[in-house]
Chains A and B, each alone.
Chain A
Amino acid sequence: MKYSQRTNQSVKIDASGIYYRELNTKIRELASNGTQKIELRNVFGQRYIGTNINKPVEIDIFGTPGNDLGAFMNGPRITVYGNAQDGCGNTMNNGEIIIHGRAGDIIGLSARGGSIFIRDSIGYRAGIHMKEYQDQKPKLVIGGTAQDFLGEYMAGGILVLLDLNESQYHKAKFVGTGMHGGVIYMRGSIESHQLGKEVGISDLEKADWQILKKLVAEFAAHFSYNADEILRHKFIKLFPLWLRPYGRIYAH
Chain B
Amino acid sequence: MLSYVLKRLAQGILTVWFIATATFFAMHNVPGDPLTNDRAMTDTTRANLEAKYGLDQPITTQYLIFLRNLSRGDFGISFVQENREVNDIIREHFPVSAMLGVLAVIFAATGGVLFGALTALYRNRFPDYLIMFLVIMGISVPSFVVAALSQLSLVTFNNLIGFTVLPVAGWGTILHMLVPALVLGLSTMAYLTRLMRSSMLEVTSSDYVRTAKSKGVPATRIFTRHQLRNAILPVVTVLGPAIAAITTGGFVVELVFAIPGLGRYFVEAVQQLDYTVIMGTTVFYGAFLVFMVIIVDVVYGLIDPRVRLET
- A and B bound? no
A binding-site residues for B, Cβ under 8 Å:
none
